Amino acid sequence: MSEMSLLNGRAILITGGTGSFGRTCAEYILRHAQPYKLIIFSRDEAKQHEMAQVLSAESHSCLRYFIGDVRDERRLRRAFDGVDFVIHAAALKQVPACEYNPIEAVKTNVMGAQNIINAAIDTGVKRVVALSTDKAASPVNLYGATKLCSDKLFTAGNVYSGVHRTRFSTVRYGNVVGSRGSVIPLFKRLRATGELPITDPEMTRFWITLDHGVRFVLQALNNMTGGEMFVPKIPSMRVQELAQALAPECRLRIIGIRPGEKLHETLITEDDARHSLEFKDHFVIEPEFNWWTGDEHRANGGRRLAPGFVYASNTNDRWLSEAELHQLLAESSLALT
- Burial grade of 303 (CB within 10 A; 0-12, 13-18, 19 or more): exposed
Q: Which of 96-100, 197-201, 217-221, 256-260 has the highest mean pLDDT?
A: 217-221
- Mean pLDDT for the chain? 92
What local confidence, expressed as pLDDT, does residue 57 receive?
85
List pLDDT tens digits, range 131-155. Answer: 999 999 999 999 999 999 999 999 9
Among the residue ranges 59-73, 172-186, 190-204, 235-249, the one predicted with the least confidence is 172-186
How many CA atoms does the CB half-sphere of 116 hold within 13 Å? 38
DSSP summary character for residue 5:
G
With CA atoms as reference, report the closest residue to 179 among 220, 137, 212.
212
Of the candidates 239, 238, 242, 221, the residue with the CA atom closest to the CA atom of residue 230: 221
Average pLDDT over residues 290-304: 83
pLDDT at 336: 41
pLDDT given at position 219: 96
* Nearest in space to 221 (alpha carbons), one of 63, 87, 123: 87
Of the candidates 112, 123, 122, the residue with the CA atom closest to the CA atom of residue 154: 112
How wide is the angle at C-alpha 56 spanned by C-alphas 51 and 60, nearest 5°? 130
pLDDT tens for 164-192 read: 899 999 999 998 886 766 788 888 888 88
Task: State the average pLDDT over residues 271-278.
Answer: 96
Torsion of Cα atoms, 61 then 122 then 158 then 223, to 10°: -20
Residue 188 · residue 167 · CB < 8 Å? no
Residues involved in catalysis: 135
40 vs 121, 122, 138, 188, 264, CA distance in Å?
A: 20, 20, 32, 29, 34
Q: Would you state the pLDDT for residue 29?
A: 97
Please name which of 325, 315, 285, 316 lies closest in space to residue 302, comparing C-alpha atoms: 285
Give residue 272's pLDDT.
96
User: What is residue 337's predicted lDDT score, i.e. its pLDDT?
Assistant: 38
Q: Are 18 and 67 in contact (CB under 8 A)?
A: no
Query: pLDDT band for position 227 (50/70/90)?
Result: very high
HSE-CB of 73 using CA atoms within 13 angstroms: 15
User: Has residue 334 got a pLDDT over 70?
Assistant: no
Better-scored residue on pLDDT, 116 or 259: 116
For the chain, list the strands marked E by DSSP: 11-15, 37-42, 63-67, 85-88, 127-131, 167-171, 175-177, 195-198, 204-209, 229-232, 236-238, 251-254, 266-268, 276-278, 282-285, 303-304, 311-312
Q: Calculate what percentage of the chain has a pLDDT beyond 70.
A: 96
Cβ contact 87:12 at 8 Å = yes
Asked whether the beta carbons of 73 and 111 are under 8 A apart, the reply is no
pLDDT band at 335 (very low <50, low <70, confident <90, very high): very low
From 129-133, 279-283, 321-325, the region with the lowest mean pLDDT: 321-325
pLDDT-based confidence at 331, cuts 50/70/90? Answer: confident
The alpha carbon dihedral of 71, 73, 79, 85 has a sign of: positive
Measured over the CA atoms of residue 177, residue 183, residue 187 and residue 189, the dihedral's sign is: positive
The whole-angstrom separation of Cα 210 and Cα 222 is 18
Instruction: Pick one of 1.20.1250.20, 3.30.390.10, 3.40.50.720, 1.10.287.1040 as the CATH number of 5-174+208-233+267-305.
Output: 3.40.50.720
Cα pseudo-dihedral 143, 236, 303, 224, rounded to 10: 50
Q: How far is CA 42 from the centre of its chain?
A: 16
pLDDT for res 2: 66
Q: Confidence class of residue 332 from pLDDT cuts 50, 70 and 90?
A: low
Give the 3-state secondary structure of residue 288. coil
Tell me what the mean pLDDT of segment 224-229 comes to.
96
- What's residue 333's pLDDT? 57
